[in-house]
Structure 1
Amino acid sequence: MTRILIRAGKSPLTVLSHEQSLSTSRLGVFGSNSGNMLFYSAVFRVLSVPGAEVVANSYVHERPVHLGTYINRTNEEFDRFVLPMANSYRDTFLPHLERLAKVIERLKIPVTVVGIGAQLPYGTEFDSLPDNYKKIVTRFTRAVLNRSASIGVRGEYTARMLKYLGFGDEHVRVIGCPSMFGNGPLGPLVRKVDRLAYDSPIAISYTPKVKGVDRLVEANTDRYPNSVIVPQQHHRLALMLWGENPAKVPNKRMPIHTEHPLYENDRMRFFVDASTWVDFMAEQHFAFGTRIHGNVAGVLAGTPSVVLAHDSRTVELSEYHGIPYRLYSELPPDVDAQRLYEEADFDAFGPRQAETFETYVRFLEHNDLEHVFQPGKANPAYDEALAAAPFPGPVHTLMASDVVGRRQVMSRLRWLRQGHEGDLERRAYEFEPPFREPRGQRTLEERVTELEKELRVQQESLASWRGRMGRVLRINPLSTGGRR
């Protein structure tokens, strides 16, 4: 049996509750951004051919601990290491990228990177790249190419950047994002309605750091009361599950705190599984916003979507896959969803899919990766298991008033309480009854008495030890090197 280790938070077949999905890691099981689920779930399915075992690495190879142990296990237990990547050529990811480079340099098995991209301000010239950025990107790319036939990048911009750094076309393949190919080539995008109505269901994605996005969200959620926002960061999941506000809220109009109207009216939805996300998007009339995978989830569901591109990454992915996009900087910050919907050219999307899919398949085969689209390699058992898995649905806020939302709040309370025994062991907000002794606990006086007794015992033990050591020194002065 071929064993493939894949860079992923978990297997797409593994069912975790909302609470587990956040608590399994400091960044959530999906690694900070839930958009990651879309591309690693797609690669998981594509490589899950009969006779292959695909195992998630839980992102351990880029953490600053126990790298040697993970490297040895990878070499000993697996035949391949496949890394579905995101906008990993970016400044904030450089420490992780450098650790991955160290790992790959010590691996003895083939390594394949699928869909890595640059994230730089739109229009950045390569001769202005910082030296440290160029050094780490070069080291990582060289390490990968020493273990593979080629590296798959997200778009032409990233390919040009790598060429500037010395990596030729023979080693760099533009393949887009693997999230688009999990089930084969996609069909056309067809408008579900001629015109958006007041009550149209709309999904809006947003990136808090993009200037003016608060006005975009506010204007369109006011115009369309059945619209919802779909956050993607683990911080927002903590906000929705537990009411965990950020340390600072510099802009109260941004929907990142519990007092925001969208939180109070339960108009946020978060997803901890790719399949439930796509199912939800299939119910929407339109999707738009600044998050690339917020819109990829839309097109995977066949829902017309428009990317509001704001950096090199969102532009190159939209162009490569034929997803309609607009440069956000050229639009009014409060642009109406209806304007985006009516001005978008959805007809160009469908014809592009067969070509990009074929390019992706050739890349897999160039790197000797078997896949489910090859003759005789389909794996219907995988799809059946995915369809049967009891995944939790979208996360609601704590302010949800419908039955689904209230049941989620009940689930969170059960998660916190963990039964009566758990409550007895809990130290937060601990209470000492003024008269009756709680079961299994001692009064304050009894605790003080016990500590005083323990102190006397320790003092007597210390005095006894000193006496013994004095006798030893008198009998054998050489034990201290002749000193008394």
Structure 2
Amino acid sequence: MTKILMRAGKSPFEVIDPLVTLDQNLIANNSGNLLFAQSVFKSLSKANTEIDVTRYKADPASADEINEKYDVFVLPFANAFRGSFEKQLRAHTDLIKKLKIPCVVVGIGAQTDMNFSQLKGSPIDAAAKEFVAAVLDKSAIIGVRGEYTREYLNNLGFSAVETIGCPSMYLNGENLKVAKKVAALDRDSLVTVNITNKQGSIVERFFARTLEDHSQAVYVPQDMEDAHLLMWGKPRKEAGSADGIPSDLSSLYIATGAARFFTDVRTWLDFMRPRHFAIGTRIHGNVFALLAGTPGMVIAHDSRTLELSQYYEIPHVKSKEITDKTSVRELYERADYGPMMRGHLARFTTYKAFLEKNGLPHIYGNSSDVAAFDEKVAKMNYPAPIDVISASDDLAYRITGLHTRYEDKIERIAARLKKLEVRMNKIAAAAKA
């Protein structure tokens, strides 16, 4: 039996209430993280393998326990080479240095502007070098999300680097089929919108036009603040008057109740399957559409969205190319999914080879393991997505659930204080003896 510890918030075989997911931040601030974590989990879910998740904790003090319990530590990452992630990156570095088992990083990337200028002499360089050196001391090769991240690590002095993309695109293995369900979009087409804050007025006006022009449009946010806005009506702190992202319940995006926040991969995929088109600045919001067979287009606004769109040949447009004349109908018409689908098998083969180079047995090539995973996920009774509190009839449930969660927290804190009191009494007694 192989025992794997994986960096993730939760297992796909756990049914966790959205209240708990938010309370424990099992999405690491962005629900898009659910997708690439589940894809890696599936890749490694062989019949003789057990996988536990870290809940996104990286405590160097747990190294001895990890060494004793597990055979390998697998770390799916996203845009980890950025200044705001330095603290977490260094914590993982400290942990990895203390581990004696293999440590494999799957799909890590850098985040900077679309000219990639900030990757030259970046403040994150020192932390990145220490992290990659620690990983490569315990694995054969590190997998990165795109060519620019590979070049960045090459320039830092590392050659054992391979571009594998983001594991999210391999959730369905070698299968990736996307087809337009309608010849053209009209007012009643099922359009889905996703957006990142601080996109600039022209892009924000584009999204506003899209929502106004399509009566069935749905907004699918991904940030933790968005989840709290939908769940409790709590305004976003970082959204200002000049920022197009919803800041409160009066926003165009959610005033009609047409917004959903997903806390599980399967429910998100199920929602996307009948949709006609997904458009936005969120890479995983659009990858969910593609995996569900629905056309999606990325509005690339930084290095992470651009390098993944380029690597996978996902239809995309740069944010600076959006004008006040750009329409979602025009973007739908010009989107071509042929190159993406034709190149998928080669990219998937590269991903499998990467896992094998690092000694990670995968399920691909064994149809029974693939079927077992998919069947188990299909039987899970996941909760519904979070909708808009003003459009919901379960306000009492949400308030009761919150009260229960914090009541439980108080009880746990009281129990810890009781144990601490007992310990302090023993120390005091020993000191008197």
Query: Do both proteins adopt the same fold according to a TM-score greater than 0.5, normalized to the shorter chain?
Result: yes
Any residues of structure 2 matched to 1:283-322 within 5 Å, and which?
Answer: 283-322=274-313
Q: Residue 413 of structure 1 aligns to which amino acid in structure 2?
A: I
Counterpart contact for 1:126–1:164, Cα < 8 Å: no
The answer on 1:87 being equivalent to 2:76 is no
> What is aligned with 2:35?
38
8 Å CA contact 1:191, 1:304 repeated in 2:
yes
Partner of 1:243: 233
Alignment pair present for 1:360 and 2:355: no
Shift in Å, 1:174? 0.6
Equivalent residue for 1:97, pick from 61, 83, 89: 89
SS at match of 1:261: coil
Q: Distance in 1 between matches of 2:28 and 2:394?
A: 23
CA distance in 2, matches of 1:79, 1:127: 34
Q: CA deviation at 1:415?
A: 1.2
Question: Once the two structures are superposed, what CA deviation does each residue of 1:340-367 show, in whole Å capped at 9, x if it has no partner?
Answer: 1012222212101111110000000010
The letter for the 2-side match of 1:394 is: P
Contact 2:19 2:402 in 1 (8 A): no
Cα deviations by residue, 1:2-29 (Å, 9 ceiling, x for unpaired): 11000000101111112111112xxx21
Superposed displacement of residue 417, structure 1: 5.1
Report the counterpart of residue 186 of structure 2 in structure 1.
Answer: 197
Which residue pairs with 2:218 in the alignment? 228
Contact in 1 for aligned 2:364/2:370 (Cα 8 Å): no
Give the C-alpha shift of residue 129 in structure 1.
Answer: 2.4
Structure 1 SS opposite 2:3: strand
The CA distance in 1 between the partners of 2:302 and 2:324, in whole Å, is 16
Amino acid at match of 1:409: L
Structure 2 counterpart of 1:138, one-letter code: K
Distance 2:80 2:174 in 1: 25
Number of the residue aligned with 1:211: 200
**What are the within-5 Å matches in structure 2 for residues 406-445 of structure 1?**
406-416=392-402, 418=404
2:98 is aligned with 1:112: no
SS in 2 for 1:53: strand
Q: TM-score, normalised by structure 1?
A: 0.80
Give me the whole-angstrom Cα distance separating, in 2, the residues matched to 1:379 and 1:345.
29
| Deviation readout 1:237-288 (Å, 9 max, x if unpaired) | 0110011113464227531212213322111111000111111111210001
Give the counterpart letter for 1:380 in structure 2: A
TM-score (norm 2): 0.89
**In the TM superposition, what are the counterparts of 1:85-484 in structure 2 within 5 Å?**
85-125=77-117, 128-130=120-122, 132-168=123-159, 171-212=160-201, 213-247=203-237, 249-251=239-241, 253-332=244-323, 335-375=326-366, 378-400=369-391, 406-416=392-402, 418=404
Return closer, same or farther for 1:127/1:18 CA change in 2, 3 Å cut-off.
Answer: closer
Decide whether the 8 Å contact of 1:50 with 1:379 is kept in 2.
no
Alpha-carbon distance, 1:377 to partner: 6.7
User: Which deviates further from its counterpart, 359-368 or 94-103?
Assistant: 94-103
Give 1:56 deviation, angstroms. Answer: 0.6
**Secondary structure in 1 aligned to 2:253?**
helix
The range that moved more, 331-340 or 344-353, is 331-340
Q: Quick one: which amino acid aligns to residue 314 of structure 2? A: I
How big is each residue's C-alpha offset from its partner over 1:162-201, in whole Å with a ceiling of 9 and x where there is no partner?
Answer: 1111111xx1111000011122123332111000011111
Counterpart in 1 of 2:5? Answer: 5
CA distance in 1 between counterparts of 2:332 and 2:273 reads 16
Which of these two proteins has the greater Rg computed from alpha carbons?
1
Question: Would the alpha carbon gap of residues 375 and 220 (structure 1) be closer, same or farther in structure 2, given more than 3 Å must change?
Answer: closer
Q: Distance in 2 between matches of 1:239 and 1:126?
A: 33
2:426 matched to which residue of 1? none
Contact residue 112 and residue 303 of structure 2 kept, 8 A: yes
CA change 1:377–1:151 in 2 (3 A) is farther
The alpha-carbon distance between structure 1 residues 162 and 416, as it changes in their structure 2 partners (threshold 3 A), is closer
Tell me the CA shift for residue 409 of structure 1. Answer: 3.0
SS of 2:390 mapped into structure 1: coil
State the AA in 2 paired with 1:193.
Answer: V
Q: Which amino acid aligns with 2:148?
A: Y
Q: Aligned-pair distance for 1:382?
A: 2.8
Any unmatched runs of 5+ in structure 2? 412-433
Aligned-residue CA RMSD (Å): 2.0
**Kindly tell me: are residues 376 and 340 of structure 1, through their superposed partners in 2, closer, same or farther at Cα, counting changes over 3 Å?**
closer
Pair 1:248–1:313, CA change in 2 (3 A): closer
- DSSP-derived class of the 1:399 partner: helix
Q: Which amino acid aligns with 1:286?
A: F
Q: CA deviation at 1:93?
A: 0.7
Cα gap change, 1:127 to 1:178, in 2 (>3 Å): closer
Q: Is the 8 A contact 2:176 2:291 kept in 1?
A: no
Separation in 2, partners of 1:44, 1:100? 19
Q: Which residue of 1 aligns with 2:430?
A: none
Deviations 1:116-142 (A, max 9, x none): 011111112367323x31111111111
Q: CA deviation at 1:381?
A: 3.2
Does structure 1 retain, via aligned residues, the 8 Å contact 2:226–2:236? Answer: no
**SS in structure 2 of the partner of residue 5 of structure 1:** strand
Task: Name the CA distance, whole Å, in 1 between partners of 2:204 and 2:359.
Answer: 46
Match of 2:421 in 1: none
- Map of 1:19 onto structure 2: 19
d(CA) in 1 for partners of 2:5, 2:104: 11
Identical positions, percent? 38
Which residue does the alignment assign to 1:77?
69
CA shift at 1:410, angstroms?
4.2
| Equivalent-residue separation in structure 1 for 2:237 and 2:8 (angstroms) | 29
Judged with a 3 Å threshold, the aligned counterparts in structure 2 of structure 1 residues 344 and 183 are, in CA distance, closer, same or farther, namely: closer
Q: Which amino acid aligns with 1:220?
A: T
Deviation, 1:41, is 0.5
Shift of 1:407: 4.5
